[in-house]
Amino acid sequence: MNLLFLLLFRKKINWKRLGSVHQFCFVYGCVQIIGLQILGNFEAWIFKPDSIMGIFLFKKVVIEDIVFIPVCTNLFYGFTFLIRKIHDYAKQNILLHFITITSILSILAWLWQTAGTGCQTLIVSFIILPAIIFMFVANRYKIRINYTHLYLTFIFICFVSVGWEVLNQFYLHHWSYNPKCDLLSKRGFFCGFKFHTSIVFGYTIAGFTNYYGSYMFSKSIK
């Protein structure tokens, strides 16, 4: 799908913008994955031996973890590119903005209570701080935000991220979360240790925050 998108729209894509998004998301993604896998007493997730190539790039971080980052980035960029000209129906909808902000803050508060100390640090580092930085940058450089585009991208990323987790746990069984990892609070596990709130929901919000922030900043590149 990614290759098909690049081939079909190769003449319309601004490759400098795409490259800048990939660079930022790759660095951010690597730091987050490495943090989750090596900062605890045990790795946060464990792969089945027959589901990966077994190539470790950095301690407990396998090559599949790293390759997953540009694949997702390209998929998200493809979606945002296809809806780039959509009219902003949500710009003047104050109620929608209020509901969205309130919902996200409520989810973050819930995640803070269930995440565990290690993942609380990740929430601050990969959700709260990037959001503040990107809001400052958007205001500083007068970057216009299409809220309909933003909300649709958020829904798409949530669908892909949560859907991938569900697909793995109930069908693929490529990896499982490690209850022994002290980064993951026991309160955050649900469905019999199949899912953890800080990964399923926190990772999704962090991915959106950093991807869309880098996407918006890339629009300043000619």
Tell me which residue range forms the domain holding 76: 2-6+15-21+40-85+94-218
| Residue 135 pLDDT | 83
| Residue 208 pLDDT | 93
Query: Is 194 part of a structural domain of the chain?
Result: yes
Query: Is 32 part of a structural domain of the chain?
Result: no
| Residue 69 pLDDT | 94
| Residue 158 pLDDT | 93
| Residue 118 pLDDT | 66
Q: Which DSSP string do the residues of the chain spell out, in sequence order?
A: -HHHHHHHTTTTS-HHHHHHHHHHHHHHHHHHHHHHHHSSSS-SEEE-GGGS---EEETTEEHHHHHHHHHHHHHHHHHHHHTTT---SSTT-HHHHHHHHHHHHHHHHHHHHHS-HHHHHHHIIIIIHHHHHHHHHHHHTT----HHHHHHHHHHHHHHHHHHHHHIIIII--EEE-TT-TTS-GGGEETTTTEEHIIIIIHHHHHHHHHHHHHHHHTT--
Query: Is 151 part of a structural domain of the chain?
Result: yes
| Residue 169 pLDDT | 92
- Average pLDDT across each block of 10 residues of the chain; the chain has 222 residues. List them in order: 86 92 93 88 90 85 92 95 93 88 86 76 83 83 88 95 94 91 88 88 89 88 73
Q: Into how many domains does the chain fold?
A: 1
